[in-house]
Structure 1
Amino acid sequence: MSREARYRAIARELGRRIESGELPPGERLPTEDALAERFGVHRLTARQAMVELRRAGLVETRHGLGSFVRRVQRRIEVSIDPVTRRHRRVDLEGLATVFAGGEEILGRALVEHPAGARHLRVAGEEVYEITTLLRSEGSPCVLSRYRLPPEYADLVCDPDLGVLGSLEAGGISYRYTWHAISADLADLADQSALALDAGAAVLVREGLVMHGDEPLCHVERRCRADLISFVTRYDRPGD
């Protein structure tokens, strides 16, 4: 049997075990040397089989740790009423289930952020920034930065409600005025908080929240592109 056919056969066998659940998400796979010995092939053949599995999106390699069965990407769907521009409550409850444990606050400080200051129409370049982390099934998924006018520096955040929910609980209503979605490569903060390798893909979801006619919060969410995708529906509650 040719070397090309052999590595494809190995990839198919491992792929079958992954898709059947025999090798569950997060499972660490044998090393290339161990695979080569198990299948009676050269190490380069085992390496090519792993390349095929990564191309198929079934396996991810973590620098210094090895190769692991990739977790299934979560499809996050939210519906926004086009009149009120508010998320539907049922969607927020669903998100709370997906991201059990609430928003873990990683930091909060007054920082210089010219772009955020422009969005918020504040004097100077200083904004109050709250950084949080969402996890799903134990894996870090979403790194969020909420940028508010400096006068919100004393805001008390309830992890179960999140930053925006805490604002609302304090009597501050809000609505989204725009969203933007783009792609980026993981920076040092992403690599640390989201357990990503350098150069990994990050989904960036950015938006501006208003309180009445005044900008309230510039939100930037940086998500693991291998674990999270977003669908936003603009409809009326009950549609």
Structure 2
Amino acid sequence: MPNHRRTSPRYLQLARLIQERIDSGEYPAGSRLPSEPEMCAEFDVNRLTVREAVAELERAAAIEIRRGVGTFVRLPVARVSITVDPRSQRFDMGSTHASLPESTADRGMDVQETITAVLPAGTSTTDEEAARHLGRPVGVLTRVETVFSTGSECCGISSYWLPRALLPRELAAPGPVENLVRTLADSAGITLEYDWRAFSAIGADIGDADLLGVPAGSPLLVREGVSCTPDGEPVLHVRRRIPGERARFVLHFRETGPGLPPAPHDGQA
């Protein structure tokens, strides 16, 4: 086995070599990796080295181990791309998901947002933070929890905070929602504009990890911010979490035109 980095442990050298074969297509997505005895023989290493290399690749999400079946190269991750509507940098259009990332669109998969809970804001850190951003007492706010899914797989979670008095009937109970922001704006008879948006990374807490089907502590990308009325009154605080490998945030600042790449098939945010 070639030694790409002489100071690296032997299992890391093997892991990099297997990763190179995955990247080159020698081990295509969905294919079964050679067995432990086969890799031991081919790379002239012992079983412990193979097991440590496989464990490293599993931590990197390059492969998946199916107990009693074998070790397989993971299929490409379907990313959820989120973009500001290129026609406006001011108005909050809501998350429409009118079109999808190419990897899911080609398979006819839809992204569905579903309300999972409607709760009075309490005393959690995120509730209190939302209250500060909205400039209102926690006690007058309602928190709406939603999940985004492709088929049966959850690919993102959103939490929305808004004044209870503005909560429309359509958003007051669990169930599918076509466009939460537009439903809110139409019901209240207001136009919502972006006040600010921020991007950060966190580790998944136990609740988010359970919903997303990832280990606790897994990296999540967070997009959060406040939407307000045209006169600047804060109305809605949103906090969206997506597994790091699934998320791509895209900001379009110009319409697609000659010499510009086409806009990706993404939802809006």
Q: TM-score range by the shorter chain?
A: 0.7 to 0.9
Unaligned stretches of 5+ residues in structure 1: 24-28
Match of 2:156? 142
The letter of the residue matching 1:185 is: G
Against the structure 1 CA distance between its residues 57 and 218, is the aligned structure 2 distance closer, same or farther, given a 3 Å change threshold? same
**Structure 1 Cα separation of the partners of residues 198 and 185 of structure 2:** 23
- Aligned to 1:234, the other structure's residue is in SS state coil
**Structure 1 Cα separation of the partners of residues 97 and 30 of structure 2:** 33
| 8 Å contact from structure 2 (residues 201, 222) kept in 1 | yes
Match of 1:59? 63
Match of 2:114? 104
| 8 Å contact from structure 2 (residues 221, 243) kept in 1 | yes
Which structure shows the bigger proportion of residues in strand conformation?
Answer: 1
**Structure 1 Cα separation of the partners of residues 75 and 185 of structure 2:** 37
User: Would you say 1:85 and 2:86 are equivalent positions?
Assistant: no
Match of 1:114? 128
Which structure has the higher relative contact order (CA within 8 Å, separation 6+)? 2
**Structure 2 Cα separation of the partners of residues 8 and 90 of structure 1:** 39
Q: CA deviation at 1:11?
A: 4.8
Out of 132, 148, 158, the position equivalent to 2:146 is 132
Out of 154, 159, 165, the position equivalent to 2:182 is 165
Unaligned stretches of 5+ residues in structure 2: 3-9, 261-269
| 8 Å contact from structure 1 (residues 74, 229) kept in 2 | yes
Q: CA deviation at 1:86?
A: 2.3
Match of 1:194? 212
- Aligned to 2:84, the other structure's residue is in SS state strand
**Structure 2 Cα separation of the partners of residues 11 and 187 of structure 1:** 29
Q: CA deviation at 1:188?
A: 1.2
Task: With the length of structure 1 as denominator, give the TM-score of the two structures.
Answer: 0.74
Deviates most, 119-128 or 131-140 = 119-128
Q: CA deviation at 1:139?
A: 2.6
Q: CA deviation at 1:72?
A: 2.4
- Aligned to 1:118, the other structure's residue is in SS state helix
**Residues matched between the structures, number:** 228
Against the structure 1 CA distance between its residues 202 and 77, is the aligned structure 2 distance closer, same or farther, given a 3 Å change threshold? closer
Out of 227, 232, 257, the position equivalent to 1:209 is 227
Q: Deviations over 1:106-128 (max 9, x none)?
A: 11110222221122222355420
Q: Deviations over 1:93-149 (max 9, x none)?
A: 225986825211111110222221122222355420000000235431111000001
RMSD: 3.8
**Structure 2 Cα separation of the partners of residues 75 and 124 of structure 1:** 31
Task: With the length of structure 2 as denominator, give the TM-score of the two structures.
Answer: 0.67
Between the aligned residues of both structures, percent identity stands at: 29
Q: CA deviation at 1:207?
A: 1.0
**Structure 2 Cα separation of the partners of residues 222 and 89 of structure 1:** 16
